[in-house]
């Protein structure tokens, strides 16, 4: 049997190619997955771990050097506000102690994904991207899209174009801002949309493409420091509907709500005896933010109720609640809170 021997030149070429391959892999951006659970990990017979999720997408190593850690493994609706604070502190810690880290991917259940993403958008104080991702189908379902969404989230987190864009939500090939995105359908894959403002960009096979930037304050420019917040104050959301009673508003105040968000009809209308309830709330020093239940459009300050009330601008009621909780953790001044709603 004849043996083939490599001449020194060929051996040297192979060594150079191998060394170049190792160097190229080391130059890929490092991206850390922080898993919290959700449908994306909810496999029949046991939830997938953070390591399991990374294992679903071997192609990720073409774009980034993945790392992983498990924060929690539950549905998004079971996460508490204390866990939100802990998660935000952890992401801030990762960025502050690891300057070479390119970005972070956070998995979440889709039911309250937009809320968690917006909270991180206001409290992770670094320009590097945080990408929140999930899936509508679980790993035991035919057509599970979680692996594809994860790959795209890693690609966005590794993309230089994502820097400075705040917290991003990536599903179904689309990139949306945490501030503007909302879940619009209970079941369809294309559920996450930014409606009137539109998506920020797309994740295509050849590259990550951004079409616009986020102009409101967020992340690195945020004034909200979770290291100084031990607990978020209670803020309740109340819906306006025909002939609605004001006693529900009074009950929320009497049970300890420090802030209220009203999902008003149109640009600020209430119904029934709700105006009496809101006056009661204002008299007790409770901050009231007025938003719209319509799904889009602005509610300006003092449009309906007077200077003691805060206009929620174009924030959805559930996101206005998040901003109001953070605002009340730092001030009770309605004018200061109105400034925050204008800037964020």
Indicate the angle between helix axes 247-254 and 274-283, nearest 10 degrees: 20
Residue-wise pLDDT for 252-284, tens only, equals 999 999 999 999 999 999 999 999 999 999 999
**What's the pLDDT band for 6 if we cut at 50, 70, 90?**
very low
Residues tagged active-site: 39
- Indicate the average pLDDT of the chain: 93
Q: pLDDT tens, 284-314?
A: 999 999 999 999 999 997 555 666 799 999 9
Name the residue among 100, 203, 228 with its Cα closest to residue 148. 203
Rounded Cα gap, residues 72 and 55, in angstroms: 18
Q: Where are the domains of the chain?
A: 28-221, 233-343
Alpha carbon 13 to its chain's center: 47
Query: What b/e readout covers 116-130, taking b as 16+ CB neighbours within 10 angstroms?
Result: bbbbbbbbbbbebbb
Mean pLDDT on 180-197:
96
* Relative orientation angle of helices 113-123 and 81-97, to the nearest 10 degrees: 50
Fold classified for 233-343: Rossmann fold (3.40.50)
Instruction: Tell me the pLDDT tens digit for each residue of 127-168.
Output: 999 999 999 999 999 999 999 999 999 999 999 999 999 999
**So what's the pLDDT on residue 304?**
56
Which one is the CATH code of 28-221: 3.40.640.10, 3.40.50.460, 3.60.20.10, 3.40.50.1170?
3.40.50.1170
pLDDT at 18: 44
Asked whether residue 250 carries a pLDDT value surpassing 90, the answer given is: yes
Q: Tell me which residue of 108, 74, 71, 76 sits closest to 91, measured CA to CA.
A: 71
Provide mean pLDDT across the span 192-201.
96
The answer to whether the 28-221 and 233-343 domains have the same CATH topology is yes
């Amino acid at each position: 049997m004849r043996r083939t021997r490599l001449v020194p030149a060929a051996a040297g070429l192979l060594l150079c190619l191998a060394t170049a391959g190792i160097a190229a892999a080391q130059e890929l951006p490092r991206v850390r997955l922080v898993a919290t659970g959700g449908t994306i990990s909810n496999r029949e017979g046991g939830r997938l771990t953070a390591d399991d999720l990374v294992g679903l997408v071997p192609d990720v190593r073409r774009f980034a050097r993945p790392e992983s850690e498990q924060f929690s493994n539950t549905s998004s609706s079971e996460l508490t506000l204390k866990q939100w604070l802990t998660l935000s502190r952890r992401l801030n810690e990762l960025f502050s102690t690891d300057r070479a880290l390119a970005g972070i991917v956070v998995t979440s259940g889709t039911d309250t994904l937009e809320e968690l993403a917006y909270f991180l958008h206001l409290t992770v104080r670094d320009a590097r991207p945080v990408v929140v991702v999930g899936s509508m189908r679980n790993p035991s379902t035919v057509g599970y899209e979680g692996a594809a969404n994860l790959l795209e989230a890693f690609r966005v987190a590794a993309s230089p174009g994502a820097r400075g864009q705040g917290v991003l939500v990536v599903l179904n090939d689309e990139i949306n801002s945490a501030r503007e995105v909302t879940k619009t359908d209970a079941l369809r894959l294309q559920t996450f949309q930014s409606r009137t403002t539109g998506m920020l960009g797309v994740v295509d096979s050849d590259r990550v493409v951004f079409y616009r930037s986020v102009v409101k304050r967020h992340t690195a420019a945020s004034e909200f420091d979770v290291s100084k917040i031990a607990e978020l104050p209670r803020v309740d959301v109340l819906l306006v509907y025909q002939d609605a009673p004001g006693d529900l508003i009074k009950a929320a105040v009497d049970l300890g709500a420090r802030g209220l968000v009203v999902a008003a009809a149109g640009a600020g209308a209430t119904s029934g005896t709700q105006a009496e309830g809101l006056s009661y709330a204002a008299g007790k020093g409770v901050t009231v933010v007025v938003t719209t239940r319509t799904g889009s459009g602005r509610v300006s300050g003092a449009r309906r109720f007077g200077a003691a009330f805060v206009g929620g601008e174009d924030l959805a009621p559930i996101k206005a609640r998040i901003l109001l909780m953070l605002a009340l953790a730092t001030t009770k001044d309605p004018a200061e809170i109105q400034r925050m709603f204008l800037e964020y």
